Amino acid sequence: MIVIVVIVGVLYTCMFLYLSKHQGLKSQQIDVNLAGVNNFSLIIPATDEDDNLPYLIESLVQQNYDTNLFEIIVVLDNPTKNLKDTCAKLANDNVAVTENIFGTGKKKALLTGIELAKNNFIIQLDADCSVQLGFLLAYDQFIRTKNVDLIIGIVLPAVHNSDSILSKMFALEHISLLSTQFNLALISKPSLASGANMLYRKDKFLTIKDEWLAIPTDSGDDVFMVQLFKKQNYKILINDCDEAIVKTGLPENLSEFINQRVRWGAKTKYYKDSFLKFLALIVVFQNLIIVSLFALILFRKCSPADFAVVFFFKVLIDYFYLRPYLFRFDKKFLANNFLLASAAYPFYLIFTSTKANFGNTNWKN
């Protein structure tokens, strides 16, 4: 057992040292006096976001960007009646509302929007997100300086210091995933992304469309798109401009959080990236060791001191890896909940990983 702990511990340390060696956490700024020139098609799949969607549409229409240079396509995917009523009021010359013509599921909803898109630059957003007024200009200026095929956008949790401890723990886990996504892109191994904020070229997407659709899961449209673009050696970068950051809400309760993470975990079996699979295994094994040592304490097969040393070692690595991101994205207050989140994380991870491979998930009915 000691040998396993040491080997996995060394691999875990090396993994984070490797990932963090290029932490390029810089706040990029846009030139607000430089008019946009690129045409965009913004695709927003929607099911039950009637409360938030109007605010997202309004913020997009009010962008400091020529409205003749972009279109908004809302794709209704098995929508609620409330959402249909809301979208009927939103439709105008800049906002097209259409039904999912390929069936149901987010991938098919996205495909509907992509097929209808008039422009080559596609920006994919989630209906429950919020954007800043310089969002499109940030993407325009990024494209003008870099010849890129897919851009990974940053998605931050909408969390405040006054929120509950549980919400802060959810946010910490979210930023932990973001940090890995960010650093994989910085070391030229992009494998993760969020469909709540990403851009890609329509012509490049069409070359991987069939393989993307063939992956037997509706979840992970974003991750698999990045991995398939990478497989084709298309250029993938991350947009770390402040104005390009999108914010999203957190799960409302523990059950919703667990179900979301189980759904995300279920897609790992279809990953196309062997390096990402290796990283995932190291993380799972490291946390499995923590859970196993805790269980051995209960059966008096392990001393609390030995457990404390291993746990402290892991927490220290995690904290120094995540700390720059908490400062970069103005979420320093989340550090107060780091120890509690670190104690809960191994147990939740092992539970969700097990359920992801052997259980069922539910998403929007």
Query: 134-174: per-residue pLDDT in tens?
Result: 999 999 999 988 889 999 999 999 999 999 999 999 999 99
Q: What are phi and psi for residue 154, nearest 5 degrees?
A: -90, 135
Q: Where are the domains of the chain?
A: 2-21+272-358, 40-260
User: What's the CATH number of domain 40-260, 1.10.540.10, 3.30.390.10, 3.40.50.720, 3.90.550.10?
Assistant: 3.90.550.10
CA dist 360 → 219, 257, 357 (Å): 13, 15, 8
- For the chain, the distance separating the N- and C-terminal CA atoms, rounded to the nearest angstrom, is 43
Alpha carbon 68 to its chain's center:
30
pLDDT per 10-residue tile (average), the chain, 365 residues: 56 61 64 87 90 90 92 90 84 85 86 94 94 94 91 92 92 90 82 90 94 78 88 91 91 86 78 79 84 84 82 85 87 91 88 74 58
What does pTM read for this prediction? 0.88
Residues 42-61: tens digit of each pLDDT: 999 988 888 888 899 999 99
Give the contacts of 142 (CB within 8 A, at least 6 positions apart): 148, 151, 237, 239, 241, 244
Read off the tokens for 148. Answer: 């890129």
Residue 203 CB contacts under 8 Å (≥ 6 apart), including other chains: 120
Among candidate residues 308, 315, 356, 360, the one with its CA nearest the CA of residue 339? 315
Output the six-digit token pair for 38. Answer: 């690129």
Distances (CA, A) of 80 to 44, 46, 150: 15, 9, 32
